Amino acid sequence: MDHITFLVAVVIVTALAFDFTNGFHDTANAMATSIATGALKPRVAVLISGVLNVVGAFLSTEVAKTISGGIVNDALVTPGMIFAGLIGAILWNLVTWLAGLPSSSSHALFGGLIGAVWVGAGSGAVNFDKVVEKILIPAVASPVVAGLAALTATYLAYRLTARARKESVTKGFRLGQVASASLVSLAHGTNDAQKTMGVITLTLISAGALGHDAGPPVWVIGTSGLAIGLGTYLGGWRIIRTMGKGLTEIQSPQGFAAETASTTVILTSAHLGFALSTTQVASGSILGAGLGRRLAEVRWGIAGRMALAWLITLPSAALVGGVAASVVKHGGDIGTAIIALVAAAVAAGIFAVARRNPVAANNVNDHHEVTIRKPAPSHVGPVA
């Protein structure tokens, strides 16, 4: 414990704070469609998701190793750089949560770390080949793969149940959604909780508390799982509304197809150590499910704003992380305190603005604006 200095302790607490924001920011990935279709009540949905996020945190550590020993050179990283990177990620998460935009918490974290390490230790401390291989390529491929899988599954679901009673189909797929949404939550814990594990492990390595290439200790796994689970239970209702009701009008077969596609992609990537964005996977699945149902209309304006947020997430978080790293580098403990106070003030301001237009469990399904195109009449009778 001699290596756990005050700064290291601050970084660990900040990492868990990021994990908490990751939880409520990304609850929509698992539960938006189930809440939108009525398969699960909102509060029940986030409780299930929170518990399974904790369980999922213990299933794998491959993604954590990608972060702690992959995208940056852990021999050149200091706790102050990691603190600065986390500040960039947390602030970006809060800004996009306020706007109801399902941007990537993962890419916010990567961007914050890359910007802070670049400023603090130079560009040579960033392993850009790993960034391309483990982050950028999956960022492009994963939502496309998930979207195509969800589109195909949705089309088949409607074709196979075309002659069945609508009430029976809805009931059956809603039951299926309980299982599929639960699996997404489990997969989310397996993928996203590991990112905070990786950050804390990187901090411990940089402080000399762990050896290079070490995996996360059990207490790191447990606290990371609990932090993301608690954040998930509180529910990121603004983003749940956007994903459940903003992109397209989701019916239960589509919700089941989207969640199943998301689970498959996320768990596969976690096994391979790809630290992809669960938000992008879930959004791609929902878009694919919308395109897979005849007459459903996708709101491409909202999809376009989401895509823009995805594009600017990494560089925006990197910019904030870089500025914070510069202040910490030149200001030492005083600089660290200044950054912490400024970040706390910005976060408080964001929550104050959010209270003016609250979105919660009781109104998360309100104001959906998606329309359904009506088919043209196949026969026009004679005019009397």
Give the dihedral of Cα atoms 191, 195, 196, 198; nearest 10 deg. 120
Which tens digit of pLDDT belongs to each residue from 236-269?
788 888 887 777 888 899 999 999 999 888 888 7
Q: Amino acid identity of 1?
A: M
In degrees and rounded to multiples of 5, residue 296 shows phi and psi of -75, 140
Widest pairwise Cα distance in the chain:
93
pLDDT of residue 368: 47
Domain ranges of the chain: 6-354
What tens digit of pLDDT does each residue of 102-120 get? Answer: 888 888 988 999 999 999 9
Q: pLDDT tens across 276-309, in order?
A: 788 889 889 999 998 888 767 778 888 888 889 8
In this prediction, residue 371 carries a pLDDT of 39
Q: Rounded distance, CA 204 to CA 2, Å?
A: 11
At 91 the pLDDT is 94
Instruction: Convert 29-44 to b/e letters by CB count within 10 Å (16 or more is b).
Output: bbbbbbbbbebbebee
Coil, strand, or helix at residue 372?
Answer: strand
Chain centroid, CA 248 distance in Å: 19
The three-class DSSP label of residue 252 is helix
| Residue with more model confidence, 68 or 195 | 195
Global pTM reads 0.83
25, 195 contact by CB (below 8 A): no
Q: Which residues of 3-16 are buried (b: 16+ CB within 10 A; e: fewer)?
A: eeeebbebbbebbb
